[in-house]
């Protein structure tokens, strides 16, 4: 099939590349000329395991193209995916500016029947807005071209995006058109060979499914963090409690690790957007509001432990930080707990030495840009010298079995604050460390 993917970020680039991998002819479009220039030179602008070789292979095989010119991409396409960002607006709602700009451009330049697919995470009712926007442009052109608007929310996880896309748990398709449904099934069949993972539903339910899924996962995280905070008060160990409750199949082990709260490009904005959607429709989403409040507070729990240990005024103290990305396997720092912890420490006069295997550039150029007193280093052991404590904030594999002797020798005092999701906690008290973790006194 001939496909256009509009927006070449995490979702657009991964989706487009995976469609190309299955033999489709895919053109990825982006308004950012630098990004497209880089992609055309074989430089992948994001880090995602397995993405680079797959992009390069499909470009070489002439299955994958990159352009800034939508009209050129749409010329032969049967399906156009909208995969642009839907950032949080000032009032907490998803900002549809980019989605509707794309819809407008599609209406202005489509030349043949087209299936337009909302892959971005969008509020319920957005497909109707996209449809109306395209139709308005077609009417202005006096065009009677046919088109369908389909909702196909994306469930990939950064850090495992290729694997998730190639072997999805489910492919949700919201449509009221038999023609569009058949085409979408044809496109996704190669991804669902072993069993039927195709779930067809009405458009609004598909749009809601994405928000409900993210809100459920965020709820599990905030629930466990709340339990961890109570564990600290009563002298229980949240990690042992996790193992105890996870063994119940109705609860399960996933997403119940106590930690420094969820970040990333999706959960924070989608949880907020769902609260706003409910509000706008006359319903107060109490549980989902609380999920967000618990998470906001959780991001600062590690900073609070450091303040309790070293004092309100941190002038003269240096903290070595391992991990900046919001989770391992990605360079994405959107809403990462590290941003909040580091800013809090720096605002109290502390110096920071920071290391992350992939996210240092993101920190320097965007998320911690302009924050004083941060020294970025290129190896995890380089953060230790002259640091008063080590602070772990992302559960990268390379932090799982470090050389504790080296850490002890280099740190000024053998103090560790561990804010990672704790599936693999260290046993450090007996090695002579003062070990502070979430969910255990
Ligand atoms: N990142 C994830 O893990 C993930 C997972 C599932 C769903 N989503 C959803 O997918 C959507 C995209 O997220 P992302 O993380 O890929 O965003 P992103 O910010 O990485 O990428 C968006 C891209 O769209 C481009 N763009 C903006 N306006 C454009 C236009 N008019 N024409 C062409 N390109 C344009 C931007 O330049 C950017 O490259 C969001 O709605 C997000 O909530 C993201």
| Interatomic CA distance for residues 309 and 356, integer angstroms | 25
> How many angstroms separate the alpha carbon of residue 172 from the centre of ligand 1?
19
Closest by alpha carbon to 298, among 330, 267, 254? 267
Q: What is the pLDDT of residues 132-172, one digit of tens each?
A: 999 999 999 999 999 999 999 999 999 999 999 999 999 99
Q: Calculate mean pLDDT across residues 53-63.
A: 98
- Pocket of ligand 1 contains residue 121 by CB under 6 Å: yes
Q: How far apart are CA 173 and CA 206, in angstroms?
A: 7
Does ligand 1 come within 6 angstroms of the Cβ of 242?
A: no
Note the pLDDT tens digit of each residue in 319-343.
Answer: 999 999 999 999 999 999 999 999 9
pLDDT in tens, 179-230: 999 999 999 999 998 877 899 999 999 999 999 999 999 999 999 999 999 9
pLDDT at position 440 is 87
pLDDT over 90 for what percent of the chain? 94
Quick check: 295 and 232 in contact, CB under 8 A?
no
**Euclidean distance between CA atoms 359 and 326, whole angstroms:** 9
244 contacts: CB under 8 Å, gap ≥ 6: none
- 136 vs 153: CA distance, rounded Å: 25
Q: Is 45 helix (H, G, I), strand (E, B) or coil?
A: coil
Tens digits of residue pLDDT in 5-44: 999 999 999 999 999 999 999 999 999 999 999 999 999 9
**Ligand 1 touching residue 11 (CB < 6 A):** yes
Closest residue by Cα to residue 88 from 273, 291, 225, 350: 273
pLDDT score for 193: 84
Separation of alpha carbons 231 and 437, rounded Å: 12
Q: pTM for this one?
A: 0.94
How far apart are alpha carbons 314 and 345 in whole angstroms?
7
State how far the Cα of 247 lies from the Cα of 237, in Å rounded to an integer: 16
Asked if 24 and 77 count as a contact pair (C-beta separation under 8 A), the reply is no
β-strand partners of 118? 82, 151
pLDDT tens-digit profile of 89-116?
999 999 999 999 999 999 999 999 999 9
Tokens 């939508």 sit at which residue?
70
What pLDDT is attached to residue 424? Answer: 56
- Would the CB of 123 count as within 6 Å of ligand 1? no
What is the Å distance from ligand 1's center to 4 Cα? 14
In the residue annotation, 109 being an active-site residue is answered as no
User: Contact at 8 Å (CB) between 146 and 110?
Assistant: no
Cα 98 to averaged position of ligand 1 atoms, centre (Å)? 9
Picking from 139, 135, 211, the residue whose alpha carbon sits closest to that of residue 172 is: 211
Whole-number Å distance between alpha carbons of 282 and 285 = 10
The single residue listed with the structure tokens 């989706």 is 15
């Amino acid at each position: 099939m001939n496909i256009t993917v509009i927006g070449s970020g995490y979702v657009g680039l991964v989706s487009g590349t995976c469609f190309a991998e299955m033999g489709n002819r895919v053109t990825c479009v982006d308004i950012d000329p630098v990004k497209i220039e880089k992609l055309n030179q074989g430089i992948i602008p994001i880090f995602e395991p397995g993405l680079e070789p797959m992009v390069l292979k499909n470009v070489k095989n002439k299955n994958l193209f990159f352009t800034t010119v939508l009209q050129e991409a749409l010329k032969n396409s049967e399906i156009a995916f909208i995969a642009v960002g839907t950032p949080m607006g000032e009032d907490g709602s998803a900002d549809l500016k980019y989605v509707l700009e794309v819809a407008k451009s599609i209406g202005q330049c489509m030349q043949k029947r087209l299936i337009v697919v909302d892959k971005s995470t969008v509020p319920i009712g957005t497909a109707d807005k996209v449809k109306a926007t395209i139709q308005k442009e077609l009417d202005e052109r006096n065009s009677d071209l046919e088109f369908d608007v389909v909702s196909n929310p994306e469930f990939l996880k950064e850090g495992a995006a290729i694997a998730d896309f190639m072997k999805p748990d489910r492919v949700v398709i919201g449509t009221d058109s038999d023609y569009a449904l058949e085409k979408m099934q044809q496109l996704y069949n190669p991804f669902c060979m072993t069993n039927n993972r195709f779930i067809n539903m009405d458009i609004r339910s598909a749009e809601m499914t994405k928000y409900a899924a993210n809100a459920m996962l965020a709820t599990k995280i905030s629930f466990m963090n709340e339990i961890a905070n109570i564990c600290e008060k009563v002298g229980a160990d949240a990690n042992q409690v996790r193992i105890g409750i996870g063994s119940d199949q109705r609860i399960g082990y996933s997403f119940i690790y106590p930690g420094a709260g969820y970040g990333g490009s999706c959960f924070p904005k989608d949880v907020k957007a769902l609260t706003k959607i409910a509000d706008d429709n006359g319903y107060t989403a109490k549980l989902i509001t609380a999920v967000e409040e618990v998470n906001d507070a959780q991001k600062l729990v590690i900073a609070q432990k450091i303040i309790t240990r070293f004092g309100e005024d941190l002038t003269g103290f240096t903290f070595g930080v391992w991990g900046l990305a919001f989770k391992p396997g990605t360079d994405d720092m959107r809403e990462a707990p590290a941003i909040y912890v580091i800013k809090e420490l720096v605002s109290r006069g502390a110096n920071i030495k920071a290391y992350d295997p992939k996210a240092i550039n993101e920190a320097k150029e965007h998320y911690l840009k302009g924050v004083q007193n941060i020294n970025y280093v290129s190896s995890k052991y380089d953060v230790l010298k002259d640091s008063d404590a080590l602070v772990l904030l992302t559960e990268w594999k390379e932090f799982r079995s470090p050389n504790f002797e080296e850490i002890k020798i280099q740190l000024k005092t053998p103090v560790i604050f561990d804010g990672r999701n704790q599936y693999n906690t260290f046993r450090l008290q007996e090695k002579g460390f003062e070990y502070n973790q979430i969910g255990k006194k």
